[in-house]
Amino acid sequence: GQNIDQPTEMTATEGAIVQINCTYQTSGFNGLFWYQQHAGEAPTFLSYNVLDGLEEKGRFSSFLSRSKGYSYLLLKELQMKDSASYLCAYDNYGQNFVFGPGTRLSVLP
Amino acid sequence: DAGVIQSPRHEVTEMGQEVTLRCKPISGHNSLFWYRQTMMRGLELLIYFNNNVPIDDSGMPEDRFSAKMPNASFSTLKIQPSEPRDSAVYFCASSLQGPLYEQYFGPGTRLTVT
């Protein structure tokens, strides 16, 4: 079976750091993606983790633990424009692609 | 590059009518994906093509839905007959080669079936 879960909503303050978690259960797994989606717009790619560990890309970092079925997206120095939904997704050996329900992040001044 | 192009951007139709959504992927991309997004179910993969061949259509809801990719630069998603529960935003995305690569999404088609 396939299962992927994220918190529904999070709130943080401008300039702060926030961590968005994603847990998954699947019989097949290649890698874990993170996408950002602003309200009324299409998703855009943020990161892709295949190996365990932390991948850093500017203010955004993504972590993966394959053995624990766990990933997180870390956003530093939050800006108002970071208010959006963040979706994790995994690839099932190229046969399928499953998105999580998304976490709606609100950044407050 | 113009990115992934979808048409129409908005479609309002009556229950029972046929609906055709169109997508032009980014030139040079070999994979194309159709998604549906609703508040209740989130973003769901309907079908994806690799080199114009359907690889996984397990997400297609039922026989009322069909998708084709006659060539590398064009795909359609057809719903016949449409029902109110089909109301959603339908996204098309493309990638260089399969789901292991970054997917570039089109702007989506907002479908309303009354």
Q: What is the mean pLDDT of chain A?
A: 93
Q: Give one word for B42, left, alpha or beta, with left for phi > 0 and alpha for psi -120 to 50.
A: left
Which residue type, as a one-letter code, is found at position B11? E
d(CA B76, CA A61): 36
Of A41, A96, A102, the CB nearest to B56: A96
Distance, in angstroms, between A109 CA and closest chain B CA? 27
Express each pLDDT in A52-95 by its tens digit: 999 999 999 999 999 999 999 999 999 999 999 999 999 887 66
Q: Are B6 and B13 in contact (CB under 8 A)?
A: no
Taking CA–CA distances from B101, the nearest residue in chain A reads A48
Question: What b/e readout covers A64-102, taking b as 16+ CB neighbours within 10 angstroms?
Answer: beeeebebbbebeebeeebbbbbbbbbbbebebbbbbbb
d(CA B78, CA B46): 12
The residues pairing with B111 across neighbouring beta strands, listed in sequence order, are B11, B88
Of B45, B106, B107, the CB nearest to A96: B45
d(CA A76, CA A41): 23
* A87 contacts on B by Cβ (under 8 Å): 42-43
Q: Is A31 on the interface with B (CB under 8 A)?
A: yes
**DSSP helix/strand/coil, A30:** coil
The contacts of residue B85 (CB under 8 Å, 6+ apart) are: B113
Least confident of A5-14, B39-48, B56-65, B77-86: B56-65
pLDDT score for A2: 60
**pLDDT level of residue B29 (50, 70, 90 thresholds):** very high
Q: Is A98 on the interface with B (CB under 8 A)?
A: yes
Express each pLDDT in A4-44 by its tens digit: 999 999 999 999 999 999 999 987 788 999 999 999 999 99
Q: Is B44 on the interface with A (CB under 8 A)?
A: yes
From A63, A30, A29, select the one nearest A46 (Cα to Cα): A63
pLDDT at B33 over 80: yes
**pLDDT level of residue B31 (50, 70, 90 thresholds):** very high
pLDDT score for B42: 92
pLDDT score for B62: 83
What the block records as the tokens of B42 is 């989130």
Q: Is B12 on the interface with A (CB under 8 A)?
A: no
pLDDT at B84 over 70: yes
Angle at A27 between CA A22 and CA A30, to 5 degrees: 65
**pLDDT level of residue B1 (50, 70, 90 thresholds):** low
pLDDT score for A89: 95
d(CA A22, CA A70): 6
d(CA A28, CA B110): 32
Q: Are A53 and A63 in contact (CB under 8 A)?
A: yes
